[in-house]
Structure formats: C-alpha cells, structure tokens
Structure 1
Amino acid sequence: MRLFLMALALLFFTIADAQQEMPPANGPLKEALQALHAMPGDWEGDGWMFTPQRERVTFRQTERIRYKLDSTVLLIEGKGTSEGKTVHDALAVLSYEPEARHYWMRSYLANGRTGQYKAQFNADGMLEWEIPVPGRKILYIIDLHEEGEWHEEGFMLLEDGQRFQFFEMHLQRQ
C-alpha cells in the first residue's frame, strides 16, 4: 500500500510539473485578439444605409463589444434604430484560427440570416470582411482610432468591377 501511495504521489507531481511547463493552449488566440484591443467597450453614433428598395435611411447605432471565453473571442452586439424602429439587430462572434492564420466573423441577424466570413487586416490596418452573394460581394471595412472613434463603411463589389457604397457609420466610445 505504501508503494502504491508513493507511486501515486510521484505521478501527481510529474503531471503537475508537466502542466506548469506547458504554455496555455489559448495563448495564440489571446495574442491575436489583442490586435483588436480598441474594439471592446460601448459605442454609439449615427449612420446611413441604402435599403434593398434603394431608399436611404439614417439610423442611430449602438455596439456593445466584450471579450469572452478568457479573452479568446469578441462578442459584438449591434442595434440600429430609425424613427423608433429597429433597422439593424445583430450579434457576431469574432475569433482567430491560428492554423489558418486568419480571423473569423460569425454573424447572426434578427431576420434569421447567419454566416461565417473570413476577416483580416488590410494594408492600411483596417479590419475588413467580405460576404459573398450571387453576382456580387459585400465588403465591410472598420477603421478604429485609439482616441475612441469607429468609422465603418460597406460597399457592393459587382462582378464587372464596379463598386458603390451603401453603408456608413461613425461611432464614439461611451
């Protein structure tokens, strides 16, 4: 019995020692998410967009962004209102995939639409992601400033190379 307890203690200390030497598995995830350190917080501001009926609508937007799961993902909650009605209601999870070396934007809209899109930093250091739709792509670009300003634009990219803006918002950190 004494031999068994000694072997068990040796095994325990060996495992404990090995665990101390192993880097945390989420280290690369946390490091990648630190590139987005300016995003978490509460944001509010104004914007405009064209509806599918080609009407320009102005709106008031709020974004609530928090680190979740030990700072390995960002949870983004956005709501836009115009004339007392909700015109945009979305939830997104922004994560990083170390093996592929890129970010993923997984979005959910109140109308039931959902999708997962590759996100990346462009040459100007802005976060962008594309949503493929038949005959075109939708491109969103977020430019965050350390002083608490968020500028986001949305563009339609047509197959023939034409590009037109359909969305823009300016938010301030609250």
Structure 2
Amino acid sequence: MKSLVRLLLPLALLAALLSPGPATAARTSSAQAGALDGQAEAMRRLSFMIGTWAGPGWTVTPSGTRQEFLQTERVRRQAGDLVISVEGQGRDKADPRTIVDSALAVINYNESTGQYRWEAFSRGYVTTVVPVVGDGTFQWSLQTPAYTSRYTLTFTPTTWHEIGETTVDGGQTWHQNFQMDLRRLA
C-alpha cells in the first residue's frame, strides 16, 4: 500500500502543478471575454448592413453586353452576433424566373489582427479578402494577375448603392462594370 501511495502522490502533485489554478482560469476567461467584446464592438460597426434589401442592378458580361437584373440581399447576424452573413440572389430583369447569380458571404472580425475578413462564395469560387469598413461604407477588392476588381458599397438608413470597377493598369484607370441600387425592405 505504501508503494502505491509513493507512486500516486508524485503523479497527483504533477497533475496539480500542470493544471491551471483559479487565477489562471480567471485570466483566461477575462482575456477571452475581452476579445469577444472587441469582436462584438467591431461587428456592431456593420449594423448599417443588417436587413433585407431589393432593387435593380446591372453588370457587364464577359462578352461586353450589359445585363440587367433584380437583386435581393439578406444580411443577418449569426453565431452570437460575431458573424454577419450576406445572401444574395440576382434574377434576370427580362425573365425574373431565371436566376443569374447566387452568392453567400460571411464577415467576421479577428481581434488578434485587428482586421475584418470577407469570405464570399459564388459560381464555384471562394474569395477571402480584408475589406475596408467606414461609416456607412464597405469596400472589398479582388486581385488577379490580369486585373483588379473592387466593389464599393454605400449605405443610408434606407438605401444600398454599390458599384463594381475593374482596372488592368494597376489602378491608374478604373472602369465601372457593375451597379446595384437597393432599398431596405426590412
């Protein structure tokens, strides 16, 4: 029995030394709560986007023709208000039964880097970028070896205006190839 106690006592002491005590657990919980507070505050800065939006838009297709569409966007808070989802669907203006685009994006904030992240899924592609967030504005860009596209969203309490532009010369000249003018439904 004494040999069992001699064996278990050092193991128990080792376990006690390796496990976090109440002070360590409190510091960890406090740090996690602080990070969540920072994330929550950053996500509240995007409140202007939340809602259901609809309206007309247009885009220039790869063939160079202008296609008009009717767009719906549903922007919701998710995951304890620390993530925002953006679900968009565009329908052909001439035939609203035809879906011309469907996309999903999520926005979150990383307290460690101090940056937002925009991750969008559309037409089999995934785009992950760091957007620029302002008062009532949101801008994200996509860079490829051949061109850069940027999308600038401007909000009022009742409107969402968005333009898309492309450059092939490193940003010296931009050409608009997309626009949406949406109204808040809810």
Please confirm whether the aligned pair reaches a TM-score higher than 0.5, indicating the same fold. yes
- Given candidates 121, 124, 128, the residue that maps to 2:133 is 121
| CA deviation string 1:90-132 (max 9, x = no partner) | 00001112222221110101x211110110125x752101101
- Given candidates 19, 28, 32, the residue that maps to 2:38 is 28
Q: 2: CA distance between counterparts of 1:125 and 1:65?
A: 14
Which has more radius of gyration? 2
2:120 aligned residue: 107
Structure having the higher helix fraction is: 2
Equivalent pairs, count? 160
- State, as a whole percentage, how many aligned pairs show the same letter: 29
1:165 aligned residue: 176
Q: 2: CA distance between counterparts of 1:112 and 1:103?
A: 23
- Given candidates 85, 98, 101, the residue that maps to 2:98 is 85
2:163 aligned residue: 153
1:10 aligned residue: none
Q: 1: CA distance between counterparts of 2:167 and 2:113?
A: 25
2:111 aligned residue: 98
TM-score, normalised via structure 2 length: 0.78
Q: In angstroms, what is the RMSD of aligned CA positions?
A: 2.4
| CA deviation string 1:54-88 (max 9, x = no partner) | 11011000001111111101011000000231111
Contact 2:109 2:117 in 1 (8 A): yes
Structure having the higher strand fraction is: 1
Give, as a single letter, the amino acid of the residue that structure 2 aligns with 1:119: P
- Given candidates 151, 161, 179, the residue that maps to 1:140 is 151
Q: Which runs of 5+ in 1 are unaligned?
A: 1-13
1:4 aligned residue: none
Q: 2: CA distance between counterparts of 1:97 and 1:54?
A: 39
